[in-house]
Amino acid sequence: MTGIVSLPEREYVLSGNRACAGCGLGIGLRAIVKALDGKVVMTVPASCLTVLGGMYPVTSVEVPWINVAFPSTAAAAAGAAAGLRALGRGDELTVLAMAGDGGTADIGIQALSGAAERNDDFIYLCYDNEAYMNTGTQRSGLTPQGALTTTTWSGKRENPKDMPRIMEAHGIPYVASTSAVYPDDVFDKVAKARGLHGLRYVHMNTPCPAGWGFDPKDTVRLGKLAVQTGLVVLYEIEGGMFRLTGRSRALAKSQARTPVAEFVAAQSRFRGMDAKAVAALQAWVDERWSGYCARHTRTTEAG
């Protein structure tokens, strides 16, 4: 396990990019590219990630990066992986498809599902800031229930899709859930994915001060609070075996989760939620959490 102070010092994401102050995406991206030693070719659709990357002829990221049409991130990555293999460079460079929650769970899911079914050889990383942020905060299939967006004026009514579970159902070799505010957890999971072959899926929760409605100085605090409540869970599934990791693993032992009400109260996107809505969200989190703990226990008991 990598500790936060032992992450490689080499930086591939330069300072002075165009993301908002306090954006969680930059924190996560730095750890991701470090875990790949910069030996990566990325495919990226329209998103805050494109904005962070910058406009030609300048860029803030020192790795090759192909901007692709919104629905085709996974298809482009499959093509890039096949091309590298044909050139005999398949072992030298990892292909990383990286898209937002809208570009993954809604608009890109068809190409992603096809690539997973074929077990194409690349890492797909969804950074989940829980709405279409680049275009001004519209709801996505991963926006949490109760959140106000410009297309859910009275709060979103539905719970988000469980994207890692959808990917697990494809029978791919590796699925992981992480958070950008735990760069060591991000690093370890991407490094592990790098050492495997086939379609590897990593889901990264990414706090967004602009869209969630909190002060940019609180990005890490909010991201950690999401994990502390059990709304975001750190885990990995390898060869069908489910394991909690990092802070979530410690929480499963202590059973000392923070009430979701604390997380809700810290963001203006939830200002429309009444006590009943918060209780419903808590019940949803509790049920999912017991499912995760039960799966983790089954794995540890199986040795």
DSSP 233: -
Among Mg ion, ligand SF4, ligand TPP, none, the one that 28 touches (CB under a kind-dependent 5 to 8 A) is: none
CB of 129 to Mg ion, least distance (A): 4
208 binds ligand SF4 (CB under 6 A): yes
Per-residue contact track with ligand TPP, 223 to 262, x per CB under 6 A? ----------------------------------------
Rounded Cα gap, residues 225 and 154, in angstroms: 24
Closest Cα to residue 48, out of 74, 26, 72?
26
Task: State how beta strands 235-238 and 241-244 pair.
Answer: antiparallel
23 binds ligand SF4 (CB under 6 A): yes
Ranges within 58-77 binding ligand TPP (CB under 6 A): 70
Do residues 44 and 68 lie in contact, with contact meaning Cβ atoms separated by under 8 Å?
yes
Rounded Cα gap, residues 268 and 114, in angstroms: 37
CB of 160 to Mg ion, least distance (A): 12
CB of 105 to ligand TPP, least distance (A): 8
121 binds ligand TPP (CB under 6 A): no
Report the residue from 28, 103, 144, 223 that binds ligand TPP according to the rule CB under 6 A. Answer: 103
Do residues 200 and 167 lie in contact, with contact meaning Cβ atoms separated by under 8 Å?
no
Report the residue from 27, 48, 175, 237 that binds ligand TPP according to the rule CB under 6 A. Answer: 48
DSSP 73-135: HHHHHHHHHHHHHHTT-TTT-EEEEEEEHIIIIITTHHHHHHHHHHT-SSEEEEEE-SSBTTT
Write out the residues near ligand TPP by the rule CB under 6 A.
Answer: 46-49, 70, 99-103, 129, 132-135, 140
